[in-house]
Amino acid sequence: MPCTVTAFSVKIASPGGAGMELIIAREVIGEWNARHALKQRRILLPLDGEDARDSSPGDILIAFFCDSPGAPGDQASEDVEEEIENQLREGKPALLYFSEARIDLRGAPMLQGGSLDEFKKRYMTATVDSYADDKEFRKKFARHLDVTVSTHEHFKIDAAPSSAPAAAIPKVLDPRRTGPLSPWAQTILIEACDDFEAYIGRIKVGGMLKIQANGKQLVEQNDPAAAAKWEGAFQELLEGGFIHDAGCNGQLFQISTKGFDFLKTIGKTPVGYIAELGGM
């Protein structure tokens, strides 16, 4: 009986026309195929250049922001950012990388500005990272690619029987959502993930609400609409089992196993002793 292999497209885009990064990305994808394609019955097909200009999202999007011609704000960058938004809107993974070096791997001037943090906030379900040189990029990309293909919902292959009922119509999500959680719920989880003990503090006194994670106060004060937004996000996490009560009279919470499982799907891993425990 022939072995069926599922092919997944990997779109590679760069506003600045990355050179060495593109070569490394193709090499890493080839190495992944050599190690895993036969066993996992799936193969990754990199698309770049003309092949990547199709406006439809691929199964995974890789984007590099390496130098000033591709700086956020110009037309080339805006086109790639639109691709990222379309990719995440469809629930498909995106890996975004910024060069930290004084020059990029082709010798071109470095990207200027603090775009890394901006992209992390804007595209919370994407993997956003930086690299200083080709070795660091190769290492990070190989790890991110492996984690994404292994854990992201889009890459799960389920052999459904031919008599399986038609899929249910998915519930319409908030247009700002790019996954199972609202952006604000994801922000709480992401900030808590960067905390040494993965804690979330929540205090509500009268009309005042405080939600704190990783040393940051997340709720805009003196804004009832903002308080309602963050309270809804917190309850979304608690009722969904992404966090659990950690004591202190219901004022301290911690990321649950389910929460860490979700964070892995967007490329986030815990820090501190929580990391040593395997995310609890």
* 167 part of a folded domain: no
Residue 171: band (very low, low, confident or very high) from pLDDT cuts 50, 70, 90: very low
* 169 part of a folded domain: no
Residue 71: band (very low, low, confident or very high) from pLDDT cuts 50, 70, 90: very low
* Count of structural domains, the chain: 2
- Calculate mean pLDDT across residues 52-63: 76
More confident residue, 122 or 10: 10
* 237 part of a folded domain: yes
Give one DSSP letter per residue of 60-104, joined into a string: EEEEEE-BGGG-BTBHHHHHHHHHHHHHHHTT--EEEEEE-SSB-
**Whether residue 106 is found in the same domain as residue 150:** yes
Residue 55: band (very low, low, confident or very high) from pLDDT cuts 50, 70, 90: low
Q: Among 17-21, 45-49, 97-101, which stretch is predicted with the lowest mean pLDDT?
A: 17-21
* 163 part of a folded domain: no
- Calculate mean pLDDT across residues 157-166: 41
* 161 part of a folded domain: no
What is the structure's pLDDT at 107? 47
What is the pLDDT of the chain when averaged over all its residues?
Answer: 76
The whole-model pTM stands at 0.54
Task: Tell me the residue range of the domain where 260 lies.
Answer: 183-276
**Whether residue 133 is found in the same domain as residue 198:** no
**Whether residue 202 is found in the same domain as residue 142:** no
CATH number for the domain spanning 103: value is: 3.40.50
pLDDT at 159 over 90: no
The encoded tokens of residue 218 equal: 């997340």
How far apart (Å, rounded) are the C-alpha atoms in residues 127 and 261? 15
- Write the pLDDT tens digit of every residue in 220-265: 877 788 888 899 999 999 999 999 998 777 788 999 999 988 888 8
* 63 part of a folded domain: yes
More confident residue, 230 or 198: 230
More confident residue, 218 or 196: 218
User: For residue 205, what are the β-bridge partners?
Assistant: 208
CATH number for the domain spanning 223: value is: 1.10.10
Q: Count how many Cα atoms sit within 13 Å of the Cα of residue 238 in the half-sphere of its side chain.
A: 15
* 176 part of a folded domain: no
